[in-house]
Amino acid sequence: MRVLYRPITRMGFTPIIPVQRCLYSTHAHGHGHGHPAKSSIKMSYTLHHPHSHYKHGDERHEPIIFMHGLFGSKMNNRGISKMLVKELNRSVFALDLRNHGESPHVTPHTYTAMAEDVEHFIKDHRLKHPTLIGHSMGAKVAMSVALRSPDLVQDIVAVDNAPVNAQLGRQFAQYLQAMTRIENTAIVNTKEADEILAAYEPSLAIRQFLFTNLLKPTKENDKFRWRIPIKTLGGALDEMAAFPFTPGEKSFTKPALFVRGTTSKYVADETIPLIGEFFPRFQLKDVEAGHWLISENPEEFKRVCLEFFRREKEE
């Protein structure tokens, strides 16, 4: 978590890779707060090009689709996306999943609904053999897409989550409680908002991460407000703890990498046999970090990903 907000230039490379930022929504951003979704939604995303793809227009071949966790956005994965582009010469589509970032606010907020969104994204953009990488909530979305539509996906990387029904850490409910207090309090600056949130979360890095969702007052709206629909997400916490498949129901027989933090409790040893039932060709790698391992230890995360992809090419 410590490096989520560092400037790109401190990640160890020069930001020379072309970036295309795209926003597609079913309605104007900011107008949708929990409206029922009749079908999948079109998500906001950022496309990171390698130079060769940018020149020749073949970013659709074997791209990477990167999905964030709960309360996150495509911006969280900007640094590691650029690293992977540079090392692999593959395009990376960093998504805003529904009810996050600049994507529409809709219900339901379930793994099935988010998987449908990603499946439609792959088809709409005519992507060929994509790799899905997801952290936490995004990991379960990646798993769900792979199990639902294995022909659409080349492989997956699931970061610090497992295909199990497991209770979320109580901190997520506490974050939502703090967010509600902030929204209902007539705060006049971010310092006051931080004082409220600090009573629930002592880590400055995590508070800064959550504050990426806080919008400052404008001429049209003179209150601080949250970019994400906190009521919708608050009502979906049980769904986020669940997994929409039962063992033996489906399996994904292509390569799958599961990466867990050594000090995180989200992928316990007891879940490993269950991972194998859903993903019989899985590999498990440990990274010295907690739940936010991509930002805590990006170099080690990059290393295990590169090792996984290169081993695939050799098989």
Give the C-alpha separation, 262 to 268, whole Å. Answer: 10
Distance CA 162, CA 183 (A): 33
Q: How many residues does the chain have?
A: 315
Of the candidates 85, 76, 75, 95, the one whose C-alpha atom is nearest the C-alpha of residue 14 is: 85
Question: Among 144, 143, 123, 127, which residue's Cα sits nearest to residue 63?
Answer: 127
Given 48, 53, 135, 291, the catalytic residue: 291
Cα dihedral 43/68/163/284 (nearest 10): 130
Residues 6+ apart with CB under 8 A from 228: 71, 99, 100, 105, 213
Catalytic residue flag (residue 81): no
Q: Which of 136, 144, 264, 295 is catalytic?
A: 136
- Calpha distance 258→56 (Å, rounded): 33
136 among known catalytic residues: yes
Which residues are marked as active site?
136, 291
